[in-house]
Structure 1
Amino acid sequence: MISEPAYDDHDLTVLRTLRRGQIVRGTVIEIAGFGVTFVDIGGCTAMINIPELSWRPINHPSDVVTVGQEVTAEILDVDIERRRVPLSLKALQDDPLPQLRQRIGQAVTGPVTKLVPFGAFIRIEDTGNGFEGLLRNSELGDDHVQVGDLVTVKIAQIDITRRRIELTRGR
C-alpha cells in the first residue's frame, strides 16, 4: 500500500517539468481506502482526491476509476517541496448541473436515497451516481417515505454554486 509517494532524483526531475494547468496522461496504480487515487505520470506518482474525480456524487473512487486504467487529468498544482502533484479528472469535463436547469418545473420520479431530519433526498436521474435533490418535510406533508420508495417530484430550483437541488411536490 502506498501511503506517501517516495521520490528519487528521477522523480524530482519529472516534478520540475510539470506545471499547473498541464494536461497529463497516466495510469491508476492504487485506490487508497481514504479516498485518494494514485496515478503514475511518467514515473512520478500524482494523486486525485475524491472531489476531483467527478462532478457527480460518488461514494468511492472505484465508482469512477479502476487500478490499471489510463486516465487524462489536469494538474492542479505542483508542490516540489512537499513533492505532491494533485490532479483533477473533472477539470476536463463539463459540469452537468447547469444542463439540469433546463428541467426546472419538470416532473421526475426517483428513489428516496436518504432520509434526514429536514426531509428526503431523491435521485432525479436514472443512473446510480445521478444527482439527488432535497424534498423538504414541509413538501412531504403527512406522507411517510422510506429509503427506496419511488416518489414523483418537480425540480423547483438548482443552486449551482452551492451544488443543491430543491424539489417540490408541485401540488
Structure 2
Amino acid sequence: MKVTLDGFSARPLGVIWPLDVSWSWQQSVAVKVGQRITAEVIAIDLDEGHARLAMTATENPELWAFLKSRHRGEILSGTIAAIERFGVFVALDDGPDHPVFPGVGFITIPELSWLHIEAVSDVVQVGQRVSCEFLQFDTWNGEARLSLKATRPDPFQEFADSIAVGRTLQGQVTKLTPFGFFVQVAGGIEGLVHRQAPATTPEATPQDVVQVGDDVTVVVMDVDRERRRLTLSREQVAPDAR
C-alpha cells in the first residue's frame, strides 16, 4: 500500500508491503484508505523514490526493539518450543513473546546441522536447551533468525585440515546423479566423482560404473573450503602421491 507522509502531501512517498502491516495475520486486512497510521522507516529506495515502512514496528514496539538491537554473531539461548517441517521455533530466554508463533527465535533446516539430516528430531527435541548464533532480524515475521550449526565445529573444515590433493581414500557410494556419483569418505563427508572421470567412458552413465552401497577407492582431486565441496576421481595415481 502507498502512504502519504505528513508534511509531504505532493505524492505518496511511503510504501508498506503486505507482510509489514502486521505479524498477526488476521489484522493485515484491517487498514483502510484514509486511515492514519504510525510506522517506522526500515529502508529507503532511491531508485523508486520512496521509503519502505513497517507498521509492525509500532504494533509490537517491545518485540521490535528487542530484535532490532540484536547483532549478527551474538549468541542467544533458549528452549526448543516447536518443530515444524520447515524449521524450529525457539523460545528465547530474553525478550518478549511473539504474538503469533511459539517462539521469537527460528532456525531453518539448513542452519540446524553441518551434516545432512533425515529428520529434525535427529538434531533437536522439543524442550531441549540450545545456544544459537543470531543471523538476522526477519522483519516480515518478527523473528530472530538463528543458526545452531554456527556454534559447532564444521566437520568439513576439520576434514580439509587432514587431507591433501592426491590422497587415496576408501568410501561408499551414496548417490547417483546424471553428472556423476557421490562417495562418503568420512563421517558426514561426501565428495563427487564427476562423470568425466578417466575411469569412465564418455558414453557410460554412473549406473554403468557403480551402484549405491558399493565400496570404492577414490583420489582427492580438489578441496574447496569456501563452498565446502570435495571433488574426487577414480583415476589411479602414483604411489608417492598417496
Q: TM-score range by the shorter chain?
A: 0.7 to 0.9
Specify the code of the residue in structure 2 equivalent to 1:106.
Answer: R
Q: Distance in 2 between matches of 1:150 and 1:62?
A: 29
Specify the code of the residue in structure 1 equivalent to 2:184.
Answer: R
1:81 Cα shift? 6.1
Match of 2:171 among 110, 127, 132: 110
Aligned-residue CA RMSD (Å): 2.7
Change (3 A) 1:164 1:80: closer
Task: Name the residue aligned to 1:62.
Answer: 121
Q: Distance in 2 between matches of 1:88 and 1:145?
A: 37
1:12 Cα shift? 5.6
In percent, how many aligned pairs have the same letter? 40
Change (3 A) 1:154 1:81: closer
**1:120 paired to 2:181:** yes
Match of 2:229 among 158, 164, 168: 164
Query: Which structure would you say has the larger Rg?
Result: 2
Greater shift, 111-120 or 142-151, is seen at 142-151
- How many residues of Structure 1 are paired with residues of Structure 2 in the alignment? 161
Q: Distance in 1 between matches of 2:61 and 2:80?
A: 20
**1:148 paired to 2:213:** yes
Task: Name the residue aligned to 2:80.
Answer: 28
- Whether the 8 Å CA contact 1:15–1:78 is kept in 2: the answer is no
Q: Which secondary structure does the structure 1 equivalent of 2:219 belong to?
A: strand
Specify the code of the residue in structure 2 equivalent to 1:23.
Answer: I
- Give the TM-score taking structure 2 as reference length: 0.58
Structure with more relative contact order (C-alpha pairs < 8 Å, separation 6 or more): 1
**1:72 paired to 2:131:** yes
Q: Which secondary structure does the structure 1 equivalent of 2:116 belong to?
A: coil
